[in-house]
Structure 1
Amino acid sequence: MMPEFCDSCLLLALPDDVFTIVCRFLSPRDICTLSLCCRSLYALVASEKVWLTQCDMVGPVPHRDLLEWRKGVSSYRALCRFLVSVKPLIGIWVHQNPELGNVVYVMPGFVSVVGCRILPQELGPLGIEEGPILWAPVFEIIGDLDGSTTFFLHGRDKGNDYVYPGSVKSVERNCNVLLLEVDPRQQKSKLFPNKSFAYNPDKELARKVSRSHSGLPGSERMIIQCEAQVPFSRLAFSDRRKLIEVVTTQVGQKVSDLENSLLFPRLRNDEENFQKDLALLFERRSVLLKIYNLGQGFNWKEAPEVPCDPMQLQLSEVRKFLDQSSGSLNEDDNQMQSNTKRTLGGYFRASIRQILGKPPSINGSHTHSKHGCSRSERKHAPLHDFLRSGDTIGLTLHATVVRLSSYRAWPNMHDSRFALYKLPMRGPRADEEYAGLWGGTFGWPPGKPTEEKPGKALFFLLVSYEESEGQRNLIATKILEGTHYVLHPNGSAMFIVNIDEPLYDPFPWDVDAISFPLIVKHAFAGEGIANGYGFRYPGSKPGSLFVIENGLLVFVWKDSRTVLTMQRLNLQELLKKGERVPALPPISNFSYLTKSYSNVFTGFSTASACLPSPSLSM
């Protein structure tokens, strides 16, 4: 008679290699749930082989790179924890401003992910594959020994490069918006022995109880203190900007040559140099983690046991900086009230006090509307309500899901959020073989410079598919333009073709750049964007899209014979061969909110002078 086995016994009876193969059909969450069943299964799923398999399944790091990343964490389980948390960030993020293009590509580094901005630029004589792509660092998220995440914003101030440490608030699986925020927190440990950062619990408690609530019973005051935290997004734009400015000013750490070196390894075509890059990245990561945990300038070798958090500011310090920047805000309330009645300056000080949550009168009375609160109070939360949610504040990165409308694959963005927006990238498949990111220039042969124009403006286009009125269209949306002054805004459709109706017109040229004969695989009729600065309803002229056998897409405007030639891009490889340039100041470096129609990066000495691309003279 066959003995009866429970399900766990059957799993325990499997050889380790077979159990590892079975685990390929389980998610990391399933593995963790399985470990809770019994001690034997807990020990079984703790195997390094099991979690290495999970790391392979999660991606987006190749297997041989996972073996190198393992040296920076305590286990493959910790590495899997990090990969799961940052995988939704991998991809292309954009912002509407500047109109030439604001493209940030998030890619793997070394036990990290790095956000790199591709600058609007010209394409040199070596072409896209060989010419160095100019890029600047925006942020990076580094994995600690246990797989937890640490956030660093990059920026430049007074001619020096800085990093601004913070935390990762949360990363939702299907996130489409990346927000730079300030988050109030409860203090867990003492900071550096600096009297300006001294913490007085009684004083803080007294501050939390607003004067407007001083007449309430003690139980009601405690309920008010325990109210839900005010979201950062509910603050007025001026308050949000000021808080981010104050925090970045105080937590910024000037980086040395080591911390400012490689952010990711170069290509593996030279194994010796690749291993040198990994050794340098390992050392750099260790230094950044010590800065994150202990702060720059602190002697961690002599006192490594001191638990401090240099990325946070206490609220007393925040109010100090806000008061200094807002003028005389520490005057007596009675004097403030009398000044309000007599002088224009008092009026402005009263407005600033209202922003900071300080009542203009002794009893804390406010002017209310018919429904009990002013219009501005209903729209935005007071700053003091946000600040009283914790003892300290710090910089945070928040990846969340927001309902966004879009037009031809381009999201409609908020103009007052410090945010980046993720593009819905879909790779090629059987019925959408041209979907994805393409790059190219105007002119034929492709990428061939002339004496008059040694470089050509580089364009990035997102090719997507859309069904409209019973036909399937291929749409090429511009996301980057390397001209001196913008020709078409971000999100413009450079051309639209009906992919279901083939075209039999001949290609205007017979040979390519090196005089090889051309073979046209397919051709489609459509319309290309015309001259003129338009967005939702730009003018268009008839044209044709040709698919060349060597992998090129070529759109030709029918009347002017203007040519836009494109090839598929691998941004990760291009950035590893690219050239790094200095970043913008921290806030603008993350999200450039100022409307601009020119190249805001042309001031860098490493960037070549950008010339306009050929006009679409139609």
Structure 2
Amino acid sequence: MMSDPCGSSFLLALPDDIFSLVSQSLLPRDICNLTMCCRDLYSLVASDKVWITQCERVGVVPPQDLIEWRKGVSSYKALCRFLISVQPLIGIWVHQNPELGNVVYVMPGFISVVGCRIIPQELGPLGIEDGPILWAPVFEILSDDDGSAVFFLHGRDTENDYFYPGSVKPVERTCNVLLLEVEPRQQKDGGKLFHSKSFIHHLDKELSQKVCRSDSGISRSRTVVGQGASVVPFSRLAFGDRRKLLEIVTIQIRQKVPDTVSGPLFPRLRDDEENFQKDIVLLSERRSMLMQIYRLGGERIDWKVSSELPSDPTQLDLSEIRKSLDRASGFRNSLNGDDGRTQCTKRKTLGGYVKDGIKQILGKSISINSSRAILKNGSSSSENKHAQLHEFLRSGDTIGLTLHASTMKLSSYRAWPNMHDSRFALYKLPMRAPTSGHEYSGLWGGTFGWPPGKPTEDKPGKALFFLLLSYEESQGQRLLIATKILEGTHYVLHPNGSAMFIVNIDEPSLDQFPWDTDADSLPVNVEHAFTGEGIANGYGFRYPGSKPGSLFVIQDALLAFIWRESRAVLTLQRLNLQELLKKGERVPALPPIANFSYLTKSYSNVFAGFSNTSYCLSSPRFEMCVACGSSPRVHPNPHHGCECVSSLTGEVPQSSQYCTYEAATLKRGVWPIG
């Protein structure tokens, strides 16, 4: 019988280089399916030449870096597994608080991805391109030898830096929310830990005796996955329960950062090849130490002399968690399942009071059975709102920190997502690459004032702004919207998500650009000009007023929006955050939970002092010119008042030398101007 020319024999007859080119048109799952056809195809598909093309196709790191990354894993197939799992995380993640900006950029590290927070800051003397951008580490996700992902949260407490090891849930391809959670797990088969959502957990008698249910019954918020077993999602717990669990778990699992792993998180740019190779050596040693800490618990055990492997350092025994919760105020009743009885007692007392009052007023008696029915319905309604803590802890016998990249249905306004104020989460910004008709999409940064670039001697402290430019169709018009995501002022001028300007791409502007030359005394060449409106008065309002202006597209890929009345100018240039961070300067992080998701409402720069004793810096008074962003010590005219015109109100300040903001005053959404 003649063999099929299009069957496996045809593929096996191809040279390895040709087959690797053919495999570029296949998805990784298709290549894995080929391995199940026959042994010969299994051997052919296992070739590194096949999987390196898949790694290049994912596009997380450039091809020249893949060779260095391959040295730290067992194969290109394992590396591809890791790259595919973390690829949806690459990009910009934000949170509403603090209002100055909470921007976390997830970028490649070394056989890892790193979440870096850009600190709100003033532009340094070297400008955006050459000056060091300040940033703080938030988390790392490293690849193990087999391509599986491990998680480290960063944080600082009492003058020391700590790692907080945990696990990574499977990353959804379209994830838009990054959640910090706690997850119970079942320990079986000699200590091997299994994912609680993948198996049915049967509760033993001892656990049932220690953690009893409330008299009101089982909460309907639980998700039943099998007979006698259930899993309660972390998100269904009350906010206080979630916060307390995160606090207890992070304290218990933290590992002090040793000097051997306090080095860089990613290599410098390849422009300096010698230092780049030195960074690779340091990063390789650092990764080996981190994986030992993850597997063996770091300082808890000397893995060089110990003959026994300890239990997973990322997981805690639930008996210890219960003791910690029992000691915490307000958690004893919730943990022991007494919430239902306590609430019922309170409601009976209140019900009796109401009953006596009604008897006195109306002279009518109320049925005891009716009263009990009301109490029963009230208890059920309360339980439907939040899951009980003791039910959550019944899902396993160990507990640990988890990073959960999920897809949620979120509404947005002008590219800024509407966020939940009680979730320990980061939200992904929808970044779109520039295309035909959408040439200005993406991340831009700059300062107020002309000429753009490096600050001058009289104005060395210009506030740095990050804006996300996106397109939107409205009433048949194509609008370009500049959404503020970060500002480097001392005290917030506009909340996150404010539109700094909106222009109509289809309506050319007849306004003339006010300046003829740039910083190098070269003539300014305006390529395009569009009519629009820029943000105006109403400091602190989510949707303030606007005043007319124009957006100018200048040579060297510069944008400049000019308010028509005030002639204030905001100059912007396109940013490459990965390159800026590699040239940046690392600063200490906040305490772990606040370092991941800062939930406290704040209008000042909580990152500026890098304090680890408080989540919010207090400063009674900050002074700054609204138009130019200068601090009072370096204002251009310190004796004759402010020469700058407010870019937000279009008026020259008359009552004071500077525009002054008081951090303690916030009335009707407006910050006072002194």
Instruction: Note whether the superposition's TM-score is higher than 0.5.
Output: yes
C-alpha distance in 1, partners of 2:594/2:623? 21
Change (3 A) 1:106 1:613: farther
AA partner of residue 168 (structure 2): V
Shift of 1:375: 2.8
C-alpha distance in 1, partners of 2:136/2:225? 47
Q: Is the 8 A contact 2:114 2:140 kept in 1?
A: yes
Q: Is the 8 A contact 2:414 2:481 kept in 1?
A: yes
Does residue 1:300 correspond to 2:279, yes or no? no
- Map 1:485-496 to 2 at 5 A: 485-496=491-502
Q: Is the 8 A contact 1:165 1:251 kept in 2?
A: yes
Change (3 A) 1:4 1:118: closer
Does residue 1:476 correspond to 2:476, yes or no? no
Q: Which residue of 1 aligns with 2:255?
A: 253
Name which of structure 1's ranges 201-210 and 29-38 shifts more when overlaid on structure 2: 201-210
C-alpha distance in 1, partners of 2:15/2:32? 20
AA partner of residue 513 (structure 1): A
Shift of 1:209: 5.8
Q: Which residue of 2 aligns with 1:421?
A: 427
Q: Is the 8 A contact 2:211 2:335 kept in 1?
A: no
Q: Which residue of 2 aligns with 1:359?
A: 338
- Map 1:14-29 to 2 at 5 A: 14-29=14-29
AA partner of residue 146 (structure 1): D
- Map 1:45-60 to 2 at 5 A: 45-60=45-60
Q: Which residue of 2 aligns with 1:340?
A: none
The SS at the match of 1:122 is: coil
Structure 2: gaps spanning 5 or more residues: 193-202, 219-223, 348-373, 612-616, 628-645, 651-674
Q: Which residue of 2 aligns with 1:156?
A: 156
Shift of 1:212: 5.1
Change (3 A) 1:600 1:363: closer
Q: Which residue of 1 aligns with 2:121?
A: 121
C-alpha distance in 1, partners of 2:343/2:317? 25
C-alpha distance in 2, partners of 1:77/1:158? 42
Q: Which residue of 2 aligns with 1:599?
A: 605
C-alpha distance in 2, partners of 1:35/1:307? 36
C-alpha distance in 2, partners of 1:546/1:397? 43
1:137-189: CA deviation from partner (whole Å, max 9, x where unpaired): 00000000000000000000000000100000121001000000000001245
Does residue 1:377 correspond to 2:383, yes or no? yes
AA partner of residue 137 (structure 1): P
C-alpha distance in 2, partners of 1:82/1:224? 32
Q: Is the 8 A contact 1:174 1:401 kept in 2?
A: yes
Shift of 1:533: 2.3
Name which of structure 1's ranges 79-88 and 11-20 shifts more when overlaid on structure 2: 11-20
The SS at the match of 1:457 is: coil
Q: Which residue of 2 aligns with 1:332?
A: none
AA partner of residue 296 (structure 1): G
Q: Which residue of 1 aligns with 2:364?
A: none
Q: Which residue of 1 aligns with 2:65?
A: 65
Shift of 1:363: 13
C-alpha distance in 2, partners of 1:506/1:276? 51
Q: Is the 8 A contact 2:73 2:79 kept in 1?
A: yes
Shift of 1:370: 4.1
Q: Which residue of 1 aligns with 2:239?
A: 237
Q: Is the 8 A contact 1:466 1:473 kept in 2?
A: yes
Q: Is the 8 A contact 1:438 1:567 kept in 2?
A: yes
Q: Which residue of 1 aligns with 2:210?
A: 207
Aligned residues: 578
Q: Which residue of 1 aligns with 2:669?
A: none
1:475-515: CA deviation from partner (whole Å, max 9, x where unpaired): 00000000011000000000000001122322110000111
The SS at the match of 2:261 is: coil
Change (3 A) 1:260 1:201: farther
Q: Which residue of 1 aligns with 2:141?
A: 141
Name which of structure 1's ranges 438-447 and 92-101 shifts more when overlaid on structure 2: 438-447
C-alpha distance in 2, partners of 1:283/1:55? 23
Q: Which residue of 2 aligns with 1:290?
A: 292
Shift of 1:374: 3.6
The SS at the match of 2:481 is: strand
Change (3 A) 1:73 1:226: farther
The SS at the match of 2:281 is: helix
C-alpha distance in 2, partners of 1:511/1:224? 73
Q: Which residue of 2 aligns with 1:464?
A: 470
| RMSD after superposition | 2.6
Shift of 1:450: 4.0
Q: Which residue of 2 aligns with 1:432?
A: 438
C-alpha distance in 1, partners of 2:254/2:576? 33
AA partner of residue 295 (structure 2): N
Q: Is the 8 A contact 1:155 1:585 kept in 2?
A: yes
Q: Which residue of 1 aligns with 2:109?
A: 109
Name which of structure 1's ranges 226-235 and 488-497 shifts more when overlaid on structure 2: 226-235
Shift of 1:578: 0.1
Change (3 A) 1:495 1:9: same
Match among 304, 313, 317 for residue 310 of structure 1: 313
C-alpha distance in 1, partners of 2:602/2:302? 44
The SS at the match of 1:166 is: strand
C-alpha distance in 1, partners of 2:540/2:602? 15
The SS at the match of 1:465 is: strand
1:509-566: CA deviation from partner (whole Å, max 9, x where unpaired): 0000111111100000000000322544310000000000111000000000000000
Q: Which residue of 2 aligns with 1:570?
A: 576
Change (3 A) 1:96 1:361: closer
C-alpha distance in 1, partners of 2:6/2:555? 59
The SS at the match of 2:512 is: coil
The SS at the match of 1:369 is: helix
Change (3 A) 1:281 1:613: farther
Q: Which residue of 2 aligns with 1:267?
A: 269
Does residue 1:398 correspond to 2:404, yes or no? yes
Q: Which residue of 2 aligns with 1:341?
A: none
Change (3 A) 1:254 1:206: same
Change (3 A) 1:301 1:613: farther
Q: Which residue of 2 aligns with 1:330?
A: none
1:430-482: CA deviation from partner (whole Å, max 9, x where unpaired): 11010000000000011343444322000000000000000000000000000
Shift of 1:362: 9.6
AA partner of residue 122 (structure 2): E
Change (3 A) 1:364 1:587: closer
1:301-350: CA deviation from partner (whole Å, max 9, x where unpaired): 12365152011111110011111122xxxxxxxxxxxxxxxxxxxxxxxx
Q: Is the 8 A contact 1:152 1:163 kept in 2?
A: yes
Q: Which residue of 2 aligns with 1:532?
A: 538
Q: Is the 8 A contact 2:138 2:154 kept in 1?
A: yes
AA partner of residue 335 (structure 2): L
C-alpha distance in 2, partners of 1:361/1:383? 12
C-alpha distance in 1, partners of 2:241/2:213? 19
Q: Is the 8 A contact 2:177 2:405 kept in 1?
A: yes
The SS at the match of 2:305 is: coil
The SS at the match of 2:400 is: strand
